[in-house]
Structures are given as C-alpha cells and as structure tokens.
Amino acid sequence: MKNSIFFVLLIIVFSSFQKDKKEIETATADLIVTNGKIAIMNKNNTISEAIAIKNGKVLAFGTNAEILKLKGKQTKVIDANGRTIIPGLNDSHLHLTRGGRFYNAELRWDGVTSLKTALKMLKEQAARTPKGEWVRVVGGWSPFQFEEKRFPTTQEINEATGEVPAFVLFLYSRGWINKSGLKALKIDENTKPPEGSSYEKGADGKLTGVLLAEPNPTILYAAIGALPPMTDQQMLNSTKQFYRELNRYGITSGIDAGGGGHAFPKDYGATKLLANQGEMPIRLSYYLFPQNKGKEFEEFQNWIENNKVGNNGEIHLDHGYELEGGGEFLTWSAGDFENFLAPQPMLEDRPSWRSDIKKVIRLHVDSGWPFRIHATYGETIANLLDVLEEVNKETNGKLAKERWLFDHAETITEQQLKRVKDLNGGIAIQARMAYAGEYFVERYGAAKAKYAPPLKLMIKMGIPVGAGTDGTRVASYNPWPALYWMVSGKTVGGLQLSAPDNMLTREEALLLYTKGSAWVSKEEAVKGTLEKGMFADFIVLSDDYFSVPESKIKDLSAVLTVVGGNVVFGDKEFGKLSPEIEKAIPEWSPVNFYGGYQKR
C-alpha cells in the first residue's frame, strides 16, 4: 500500500515537472531582460543572467541562451548592460496617499548636504511663490545631514522668505513659522497651544516662531492643516509626480499607514482615481487611521461595516490598490509619540488608554480585520501586549490567527519579542533613527541606541519583519538611506549608532525591504522575489548594491523600474523607455525647479 502511494505521488510530481517544463518551452514571453546580474532572492540566493516575463509575472530565469528561446515576434527585449537587477522595493510604512496630496506644494530638503543651500532654496522658492500661498518644507531631513550640523534659526528663515508666509517642519518634534506666517494664521502671544505642545517665547515674551511638540504633535498637525489646500486637479497631478519619484528610487510597492490629517475616504480621491483608471505605477496597500480623538471605535465600526479588506469591493486590480485593515493609531490615547527631543510619554498618564484600545482591538479581531499599532518604546509595547494577550485569550486564540504587527518598536526588549512571536505578530521597522538618532543618544544614551531597534535579534527569532522609512515627514521617502542605515548602523549625519552585531548584511536588509514587507500586507506569496509565478516587479540599479562601497549605498537609485512587466520609469540608457509625465502644477511648484530628493 505504501509503495502504491509513493508511486502515485512520484507520477504526480513528475507530471507537474513535465507540465511546467512544457509551459516554459512553448510559452512566448512578453518581456525579456538579458545581460543582467539578477538577484532572484530565492532561498538559494540565485544570481541569474536573464529573466522572462509573461502576463505581468515571472515566466522563467536563467542564462541569456535559455531565456531567449522564449522570444517571439512580439517579445520586447531589454539589454541590462551588465547592471544589477533586484526585486522592486516595498516600503512597509510609507504615507503614499498623503505624500502624493502635498508633494507639489512642498520644497524638499531631503538629501541637501548644506544648510546654506537649503536656505538658498527657501529664498528662491519664496521669490516665485504667489500671494496667498506658502513656502513649506514638511519633513524628510535632519540638521545633522548639513555640513553646519544645526537647525536653521528663525532669523535665517525670516530673512530668506520675507513677506511670503513660510512653514518648516522637523520630524514631528518642532516647526518654524516665519513672521508673515504667524500673521496669516493670527497666532500671537495670547494664542493657546494644543495640549502637550507650546509656542516658544523669547526672553522678551514675544513669539520666536518655533512650535514645540512636547511631545504631542497636534500643534504641528494643526499648522500643516491650516496651510492653503491644492485643487483636485493639482492633487491628482501631485500624486502622479510623487509616485514617479518613488519609482525613481526603486519603490514598486508601498504600504500606507494612514496618518494624522488624512481622512478616509475623502483624502484618497487622487490615488483611487488612478487605480480605477488603471494608471497606478505602484502597488499600494492601505490601513485606515482614525482622525477623531475619542471617536476611534465609532470610526472603525463604520469602516468595517462599509468596507471589505482586499480590493474593497469596487476596485478590481490584482494587488494594485487594496485595503488591509486598521492602524497605526488604533486609539490616540494609546499613542506614544516618538519625539526624542522631549521626555518619553507614558501610557499610565492617560487613564482611559487600556479600555480604549482593547475595545478597538477586539472589534478588529471579531471582524477578521488585520491591524497594526504604533509603538515606539518598550514600556508601551509591554502594556499593549498585556491587552493583546487578554484579547487572544478571550477569543480562544483568534487574535494570533490574524495578521497583526507593531510599527517602529525602537526600544522593544527580547522578552517582549518573545511575546510578540507567541502571538504570531510581526514588526514593521523604519529608518527614523537615521534621522533622529543623535537626539535619541543625547536623551537615552549611546548604549541604548546600539540596539534601537534590535534588528538582528528580530531576524534570529524568526519574527516577520518589514522595512521602510515612515516618509514623508518623519524621514525621507528615499529607501536607500534606510538600507544604508540597516547595513552600516549610521545616521544620515554619519553618527555610528548600531553595535556590530546589530548591523545587517546587504542581503538581509534587502530581504526585509522586499519579501519582509510583503508579509505586512499578506502578499508574501505573490511578491518580494523574482521566482517563477511571482509578480514581475523589479528594478535595474544605477550601481551594484552588493559591491559598491558601503557609503555609496545611500546614493543608489533606479535606472529602470518595472511593475507587473510594464516600464514605469527609465533613466540614463533607459530614458527613452520612461512613460511621459506632464509638468508639475501649479507652475510655481518646487518640483519644477528642484524635483524631490536632492543630490547636492
């Protein structure tokens, strides 16, 4: 009997192999890329020479000779010219839709290496900004990336912008509003700041123009929300520009964590329109973030009743635009703000936090909705795990069967990681320490920064981990400084943070940014590698990620980006393959003069 079963299984396996072989032999590829150094990212760490694409998925990989046998009359062939090719990058926590809404209106200091240059850009932009509009620099930079290693002063910002209102944001820690901006928003010495925030005053009792989150960032959200909005047409154009910018740096997928000042479904219109029209150059998954403090349960209840996880019942695109669940502030009372310039917030100071978040977590579990929770500090995570374990017990283990994760987890401990693993949870880590690590060290010490977060331990314990940036405000959206931080353990200012045994190999870091992030959105079976049958999402790199000097990792970009077998971005020798994109609007948009991430 055993021999018969074995024989039958052998026939099935052989038949399946013969079927796959015949399919490859008889198939005609839509696209073939040859002469590449292609990292398949499978368990064998295969490096291939060529790859064939059919119907948006990987058909086969192998030598040039093997793959060119799949060429037909209509097959498009691209010569990679010996360049390195990797699976498309997938940011586990990137505010794509919100970033798209505002991109055309923002002057980006991301990547600028001199404060002198940054202020010059501010002055130039102020000169072209029409009356009634603002100059705005909204995150993505660190003062330590500048040669001067310091913040701009209010005086410098006022001198650069003159009578044009201006707002500059540093992470969610502080902001600067110039004199014209304070006047436009009618903020003076008698204006009451939101709880947990303040307007800085000088020795003379006058406002300095500095807004401080201590550590509540509501004051910063309010300032951003008060700035003039763009028209629907401008936001659609802005979204296209931003997604093109992400493609430029090799992002083919992103998981949107929602964010403050960004309401669903009202503020998702531009991205949804692109998705409905089949014009998304990026695969986008999104989690819903409640906006009304104290009304989070009601918001989630309404969303769960009227929306479906997956394609949301209306947009039928294969993993192109999907609702994933709830997060990252399930409740505002349980949020621990990551402002390392201010003392650590403690949940115990907010009596309702436990009952608030338990109610919302239970709603998600009972409804079968995945969820993610913003948690910076180990103390917060320990408290939240108490609640998660209670809900898991009360639901007979149902919570541990759902997809759930913590976001950030900078100071999570080994014991807490064990508890996360016991509940089958995951973690999405971001490069926030690359932009605020100096302030973390100043407040908590260099020893604690060595394992903030404990990346190597997470991997060793087998916990699912996805990598990302938390762009566009808390960090830059550019994934390469994030990969550099994971590999080198250094901030964008060059400070060594991580211990040697907490720094990742290049392969480990890339795996977190591909297959690791696919886990976060339940898509690890369809993307993250370039194995047969996986989505044909890949990038041709400007230089070899695996061999360039470590310091050059942060300077990499894509010269060709392909999503679902379609070219969405091309540069250098592939520039003619790049789809056309209209100019940024309005005409005075900083994008038309500086682009996004700065390499100067």
- Closest C-alpha to 92, from 409, 487, 471: 471
pLDDT given for residue 561 in this prediction:
98
Rounded average pLDDT over 216-226: 93
Position 314 pLDDT exceeds 70: no
pLDDT given for residue 6 in this prediction:
54
pLDDT given for residue 375 in this prediction:
97
- Closest C-alpha to 594, from 97, 104, 100, 102: 104
Token code pair at residue 258: 């929602």
Q: Place 26 in a pLDDT band, splitting at 50, 70 and 90.
A: low
pLDDT given for residue 215 in this prediction:
85
Q: To the nearest whole number, what is the mean pLDDT of the chain?
A: 94
Position 337 pLDDT exceeds 90: no
Position 11 pLDDT exceeds 80: no
pLDDT given for residue 310 in this prediction:
85
What is the tens place of the pLDDT at every residue in 56-111? 999 999 999 999 999 999 999 999 999 999 999 999 999 999 999 999 999 999 99
Q: What is the DSSP letter of 500?
A: G
Q: What are phi and psi of 256, to 5 degrees?
A: -90, 120
- Using only the alpha carbons of the chain, give its radius of gyration: 24
What is the tens place of the pLDDT at every residue in 442-501? 999 999 999 999 999 999 999 999 999 999 999 999 999 999 999 999 999 999 999 999
Rounded average pLDDT over 261-277: 94
Which residue is associated with the tokens 């399930």? 330
pLDDT given for residue 599 in this prediction:
76
Locate the domains of the chain by residue range. Answer: 97-229+585-594, 232-531
Q: How far, CA to CA in Å, does 393 sit from each of 6, 190, 390, 399, 592?
A: 42, 51, 5, 8, 55
3-class secondary structure, 584: coil
Query: Distance between CA 85 and CA 569 in Å, rounded?
Result: 14
What is the tens place of the pLDDT at every residue in 227-250? 999 999 999 999 999 999 999 999
What is the tens place of the pLDDT at every residue in 554-573? 999 999 999 999 999 999 99
Position 46 pLDDT exceeds 90: yes
Name the residue with higher pLDDT: 320 or 179.
Answer: 179
Starting at the earlier edge strand, list the strands of the sheet with 404-408.
89-91, 251-256, 283-288, 321-326, 371-375, 404-408, 426-430, 465-468
Identify the bridge partners of residue 373 per DSSP, sorted by sequence position: 406
Q: What is the DSSP letter of 92?
A: S
3-class secondary structure, 559: strand
3-class secondary structure, 169: strand
Is 443 buried (19+), middle (13-18) or exposed (0-12) by CB count in 10 A? middle
Query: Distance between CA 351 and CA 52 in Å, rounded?
Result: 58
Query: Distance between CA 488 and CA 496 in Å, rounded?
Result: 8
Q: How far, CA to CA in Å, does 478 sit from each of 72, 227, 358, 558?
A: 37, 25, 35, 11
Q: Place 18 in a pLDDT band, splitting at 50, 70 and 90.
A: low
What is the tens place of the pLDDT at every residue in 190-206? 999 998 899 999 999 99
pLDDT given for residue 15 in this prediction:
55
Identify the bridge partners of residue 32 per DSSP, sorted by sequence position: 52, 77
Position 255 pLDDT exceeds 90: yes
- Closest C-alpha to 454, from 422, 475, 481, 427: 427
Whether 53 contacts 545, CB under 8 Å: no
Q: Which amino acid is at 186?
A: K
Whether 37 contacts 544, CB under 8 Å: yes
Token code pair at residue 397: 């283990």
Tell me which of 3.20.20.140, 3.40.50.970, 3.30.230.70, 3.30.465.10 is the CATH number of domain 232-531.
Answer: 3.20.20.140
Query: Distance between CA 579 and CA 570 in Å, rounded?
Result: 8
What is the tens place of the pLDDT at every residue in 524-554? 999 999 999 999 999 999 999 999 999 999 9
Q: What are phi and psi of 11, to 5 degrees?
A: -65, -40
Q: What is the pTM of this model?
A: 0.94
pLDDT given for residue 311 in this prediction:
72
Which residue is associated with the tokens 């990038």? 539
Whether 29 contacts 72, CB under 8 Å: yes
Whether 589 contacts 107, CB under 8 Å: no
Q: Place 332 in a pLDDT band, splitting at 50, 70 and 90.
A: very high
Query: Distance between CA 401 and CA 1 in Å, rounded?
Result: 37
Q: Place 316 in a pLDDT band, splitting at 50, 70 and 90.
A: very low
| Alpha helices (H) along 328-478 | 353-367, 378-394, 414-422, 432-444, 446-449, 455-460
